[in-house]
A and B are shown apart, each in its own frame.
Chain A
Amino acid sequence: MTKAQLLFGMAVGTAVAALGITLNAAEITGNALAGTGLLVLLVNSAYWALERRAARPAAPAGATVRDGVA
């Protein structure tokens, strides 16, 4: 997942959630739209976090903090 894709997903999620909240404020039920926006935000964040964790180099077996491995 590229940074552009993350930003795109966050922008879409925020816009859809904002649309749903605005509809609710105008007394038109927008709960489902707001929920979808939040889902898009959540899924994008989760994918980004998981991919970053997976990209972190694994510590060699037996390595310690003294070896510079946190």
Chain B
Amino acid sequence: MQLDIVVGFFILGAFAQLVRSDLRLPESLYKSCVIFLLLAIGLKGGAALSKSPITTLLPQSMAVVAFGALLPLVAFPILRYIGRWSRIDAAATAAHYGSVSVATYAVAIALLESRGVDYEAYFPLFVALLEVPAIIIGILLAGTAATSSGGASRGADWGKIIREIFLNQGVLLLLGGIAIGAWAGDRTVSVMPFFGDLFHGVLALFLLEMGRVAAERLPTIRRQGAFLLSFGVLMPLLGAAGGAALAGLLGLSPGGIVLLAVLGSSASYIAVPAAMAVALPQANASLSITLSLAITFPFNVLVAIPAYLALVQHWS
């Protein structure tokens, strides 16, 4: 099991933080990397989408949305009844685990491409689709508690929540990239020297900062106890098993099985926190972001993704 070269940058960033180096990507560069990655993934997926028949995509998309809605329902009881978390914290964190991390997805496609493994190129559509259902399920799961404490769902400013879900930077850029790619089709070739060839380099820079940010949250894990670690390792494996099983049922390629496993395995730390801050402001955001960013993301990047690929390659 060989790690992709970009993972080395993640480890370097984490190391720099642990030894208290002053290494830090400028905020504007980090944001530029995020914009680049989202547009690059969206454009590539959109171009592939223009060549894919709707009769194939529609049932697959519906199955993926149902899968995204199911994941928080698995996470919630574990957090609520074993972790003894409050209903709102459990619901908010469950929503993070039902949604996806674009960075984890980017690492997975970098690994697949470096190994020459083919996958369904319209996968970014699934990434975008998986952002939404978990947020709604999370808000519904928190419903009772939020209402009783005068929280979001009493007034349920759904307009604001839906605006946050669909118009946050991450989803807007991803959907925008997909739309432009689908509209332009083969004409995306003209921008691909920039968005295609530089993808791995920009991902490496992005992961350098992610490694630092993940390591920065280690003290929070120490304070919160061992349950965070246990949950942060179990949930990705459950999500990956579900994703791989669904991909098998949908008849996806080996690369597609790895990618749907990765999407099930990953937890959001950009789109969902923004939506939860609006919908469930009482939720402890530090808990869910620490779990998804400092435990599940490194676990996926360092351990799980190479294992999923090795497993799928072994079986196929």
Contact = CB atoms under 8 A, between A and B. Distances in A.
B307 to A, nearest CB: 6
Main SS at interface, chain A: helix
- Chain A interface: which size bin? 20 to 34
B233 A12 contact: yes
A26 B304 CA distance: 17
Interface residues of B, number: 23
A20 to B, nearest CB: 8
A22 to B, nearest CB: 11
Given A5-B227, A36-B233, A31 B1 contact: yes
Contacts of B237: 16, 19
B229 to A, nearest CB: 5
Contacts of B225: 1, 5, 47
A31 to B, nearest CB: 7
Nearest to B311: A28
Interface in A1-46: 1-2, 4-6, 8-9, 12-13, 15-16, 19, 23, 26-33, 36, 39-40, 43-44, 46
Contacts of A23: 307, 310-311
Contacts, number: 73
Given A32-B1, A47-B225, A12 B230 contact: yes
B303 interface: yes
A7 B1 CA distance: 31
B84 interface: yes
Contact of B314 (A15, A16, A28, A31): A28
Nearest to A37: B233
B230 A44 contact: yes
A43 B307 CA distance: 23
A34 B1 CA distance: 13
Given A1-B226, A8-B78, A29-B307, 9 more contacts: A2-B84, A6-B226, A23-B307, A27-B314, A30-B1, A32-B303, A40-B233, A44-B229, A46-B226
Interface of A: 1-2, 4-6, 8-9, 12-13, 15-16, 19, 23, 26-33, 36, 39-40, 43-44, 46-48
